Amino acid sequence: MSFEIEHLCESIDRMMQRHLPPDEVRRRDEQADPPNHLLQIFSNMGLFDLVLPSQDNDWDKNCWTRLSVVQERLGYHATMAALLFNRVACFGMMTLITSASKDQQNRFLPRLHAGEGAFALALSEAGAGSDAGAIRTRAERDGSGWKITGRKIWISGAADAIKMIVAARTDPNSKGGAGITLFMVDPDAAGVSMTRLEKIGNRCSLSYDIGLDGVLVTDEDVIGAVGGGFDCLKKTLFYARSGLSAAVVGTAQAAVDRAVVHAREREQFRKPIGSFQVIAHRLANMQTEVDLARLLARELSAAIDAGRDCSRLAAQAKLVSTETLKRVTEHGMQIMASAGYASESDMNRYWRDARLYSFGEGSSEILLDLISADMGVGRGI
């Protein structure tokens, strides 16, 4: 690790100890109280600077490598912090940078960069989960603007977002990914209604069922080309998968570290349970899996920095990191037994949170489809 990256990690460690210490993470998880105060702090630390390209629209050559370290370190301390960071950096800033007009960038990048809030991505619907091309929310011409009608489900952070990016069908005769357009919608616009959904994990990333009843927007709210929404979404999801991979590696490392501490401290049969080979080897396998997932996440960020085409790698990194987190938390729960099963245990939170990532933002099955299609097999034949 370079001196600069080590320094970055240390400043994140200090910031998290001060502004979101472990007790506070547990309290917020229990009370479903999102740590939104961190946005201002991330901004003051310059963490969002990493996402901004320079004047000539270029990123510096280590930008994603540094970003991935930030996301991993935040994920190590609290997944809730990393997910919040990613809603600004990936759903917000990267959507604007890769797909929006100069005017939209000028209006919203400064606000996201200043830590005023995040963006929400409103894609999923009751009938359109993995099959995002099945969305039925529609946007029709209304005078010089658009009228959006439909329902979205499971939308994270929607109520306090600066804007929701809503995917709607603008060509009623289109099917699949064609004829879909992205709109920026105010969460408190007339015609928007929200109901909070209860869930078992990721309790600090509040989820909403959203009604869109004739919501009026203008042409200035259209992101990218009319009918070109799916291409924009692919770019957003590419960066979101990269960010999530790094964050999840951090959480997986935290789970292994927690299990190691327990294995060294907990005694049964007058010995630390970590002295039993079956437990020690299990921990060794867990650490090896996390190290492999980290290598892939870092390889992905280096490939993005090098400008390589890496959508297969993004799918692989997300697949490996999220499945790794699921496995290591499963083992962590077994190693900690009743201590892990107690509501307030960190392992319990890692384990509950882990269930989401292997289907959110592209399920493992769909990622395997993408990877195999890229290899020219499966649906790719």
Ligand X SMILES: Cc1cc2nc3c(=O)[nH]c(=O)nc-3n(C[C@H](O)[C@H](O)[C@H](O)COP(=O)(O)OP(=O)(O)OC[C@H]3O[C@@H](n4cnc5c(N)ncnc54)[C@H](O)[C@@H]3O)c2cc1C
Q: Phi then psi for 151, rounded to 5 degrees?
A: -140, 140
Q: How far is the CB of 234 from ligand X (least distance, A)?
A: 14
Looking at beta carbons only, is 62 or 363 nearer to ligand X?
A: 363
Q: Does 207 bind ligand X (CB under 6 A)?
A: yes
Looking at beta carbons only, is 33 or 257 nearer to ligand X?
A: 33
The whole-angstrom separation of Cα 91 and Cα 172 is 26
Among 97, 303, 366, 373, binds ligand X (CB under 6 A): 366
> Quick one: which segment of 115-123, 169-177, 222-230, 234-242 binds ligand X (CB under 6 A)?
115-123
Q: Is 343 helix (H, G, I), strand (E, B) or coil?
A: coil
Q: Does 199 bind ligand X (CB under 6 A)?
A: yes
Among 110, 275, 365, 378, binds ligand X (CB under 6 A): 365
> Between vectors from CA 300 to CA 84 and to CA 181, what angle results, nearest 5°?
60
Report the site for ligand X in 342-361 (rule: CB under 6 A): 356, 359-360
Q: Does 156 bind ligand X (CB under 6 A)?
A: yes
Q: Does 187 bind ligand X (CB under 6 A)?
A: no
Work out the end-to-end distance of the chain between its first and last CA atoms, rounded to an integer number of angstroms. 42
Q: How many other C-beta atoms can be found within 10 angstroms of the C-beta atom of residue 226?
A: 16
What DSSP assignment string belongs to 143-195? TTEEEEEEEEEEEET-TT-SEEEEEEES-TT--TTTTEEEEEE-TTSTTEEEE
Q: How far is the CB of 55 from ligand X (least distance, A)?
A: 32
Q: How, if at all, do strands 163-169 and 119-122 pair? A: parallel
> Quick one: which segment of 15-23, 148-156, 229-237, 254-262 binds ligand X (CB under 6 A)?
148-156
> Quick one: which segment of 38-46, 120-128, 183-191, 237-245 binds ligand X (CB under 6 A)?
120-128
Among 123, 215, 232, 254, binds ligand X (CB under 6 A): 123
The whole-angstrom separation of Cα 119 and Cα 100 is 14
Residue span 127-146 as binding mask against ligand X, x where in contact by CB under 6 A, dash where not: --xx----------------
Q: How far is the CB of 256 from ligand X (least distance, A)?
A: 24
Q: How far is the CB of 360 from ligand X (least distance, A)?
A: 5
What is the total count of residues that contact ligand X (CB under 6 A)?
A: 19
Q: Is 130 helix (H, G, I), strand (E, B) or coil?
A: coil
Q: Does 124 bind ligand X (CB under 6 A)?
A: yes
Q: How far is the CB of 221 from ligand X (least distance, A)?
A: 18
Contact yes or no for 74/85 (Cβ under 8 A): yes
Report the site for ligand X in 42-61 (rule: CB under 6 A): none
Q: Does 202 bind ligand X (CB under 6 A)?
A: yes
Q: Does 236 bind ligand X (CB under 6 A)?
A: no
Residue span 71-110 as binding mask against ligand X, x where in contact by CB under 6 A, dash where not: ----------------------------------------
The whole-angstrom separation of Cα 49 and Cα 225 is 27
Q: Is 276 exposed, middle or buried (0-12, 13-18, 19+ CB in 10 A)?
A: middle
| 107-114 contact pairs (CB < 8 A, 24+) | 108/162, 108/163, 108/184, 109/52, 111/162, 112/48, 112/88, 112/162, 113/43, 113/48, 113/49, 113/51, 113/52, 114/43
Tokens representing residue 260 in the block: 């190691």
Q: Does 363 bind ligand X (CB under 6 A)?
A: yes
The binding site for ligand X (CB under 6 A) comprises: 120-124, 129-130, 154-156, 199, 202, 207, 356, 359-360, 363, 365-366
